Amino acid sequence: TQPIRLARSVIGEHEMDAVRRIMEVGYLGMGPEVGRFEDELSDFVGGGRKVVCVNTGTSALHLAVQACGIGPGDEVLVPTLTYVASFQAISATGAKPVAVDVVPSHGGIDPEDASKRITERTRAIMPVHYGSSFGEYEAIYALAQKHNLRVIEDAAHAFGCRLDGRRCGSFGDVICFSFDGIKNITSGEGGAVVSADEIVIQKVQDARLLGVEKDSEKRLASQRSWDFDVTAQGWRYHMSELMAAIGRVQLSRFEEFAERRVALARTYQNALSSLPGLRCFDIDYGPIVPHIFVVLIRSELRDRVKAALDADGIGVGMHY
């Protein structure tokens, strides 16, 4: 029998046609296709938010932290249960990531523990929507407001998810998505920063193109700057036309993907919730479109269960 892979990209002829279309144009850098993808993402998210596309979700986090004016000597609270990218996006600015405990029922940041780790150097909280859950969302924002902190949401797992009927990204301070190969939609690689803060958006737009001021506007109009100003640190983090073309097709297929992901998650919930020695997160699938399905297993059983599944050709992973 064929092994069941842990994850794979779901792409087809429409994505391939989109790539061929860009190849025929002959310009593969950042141009009008990226602008169209950004506009479509803004419409999809809602709330009148601006969207800036970059080359990875990690780049999105890094630029968001930098755009919020965070750097050497500053601290950012981040949950222990996350990929190393969340920590490195903070440390890349010279700031210090401060690890915070998570809530066992959903894996998100624990506001009570976060409150104990705030110092005079704390500048932001980076909640991670682990397993696509929003976690203690209102409590985190209340804590941030109390201490005058920015909130930079690592929403790599949560594209397309809803809270109280609103899409992730249509509310909140600064939200960062990932579009890598196994996320809710993919552009091959890629990410995006979403915010209503126009200063943050402008800084991200400039920084993704090596800090060249206002160069994004020209690139999206098939032009570029030849006489330019650079007054802040920038990076080569822009999205390519090829990535945007794939992403646009994937965005148009989101509801198809969401229906399948939700159905699978509910199947797993029903099949696994009564088994001894393990439990699932308390997540309302439907509004939440899962990037991954997380199962918590007693420590003495975990490696045995993984070995048995591997032996049967069923792919599983361990976080983290």
The DSSP call for residue 122 is E
Task: Find residue 102's DSSP bridge partners.
Answer: 109
Residues 6+ apart with CB under 8 A from 186: 9, 11, 179, 180, 246, 247, 250
DSSP classification of residue 130:
G
Told to judge if 183 belongs to the known catalytic residues of this protein, a careful annotator would answer yes
Spatial neighbors of 14 by CB under 8 A, at least 6 apart, are 249, 253
- Provide the residue count of the chain: 320
* Residue owning tokens 């080569």: 236
130 with 83: CB under 8 angstroms?
A: no
DSSP code string of 74-101: -EEEEESSS-HHHHHHHHTTT-EEEEE-
Q: What are the tokens at 276?
A: 């001894």
CA distance 62 to 85: 9
Q: How far is CA 216 from CA 95, 202, 258, in A?
A: 27, 9, 32
As given in the structure block, the two tokens for residue 26 are: 């002959």
Chain centre to alpha carbon of residue 140: 18
- What number of CA atoms fall less than 13 Å from residue 43's CA on the CB side? 9
DSSP code, position 267 = H
Which of 50, 96, 146, 183 is an active site residue? 183
- Positive or negative, the CA dihedral 173, 286, 266, 57 is negative
Q: H-type helices in 228-313, by residue range? A: 241-252, 254-272, 299-311
CA separation for the pair 270, 190 (Å, rounded) = 34
Residues designated as active site = 183
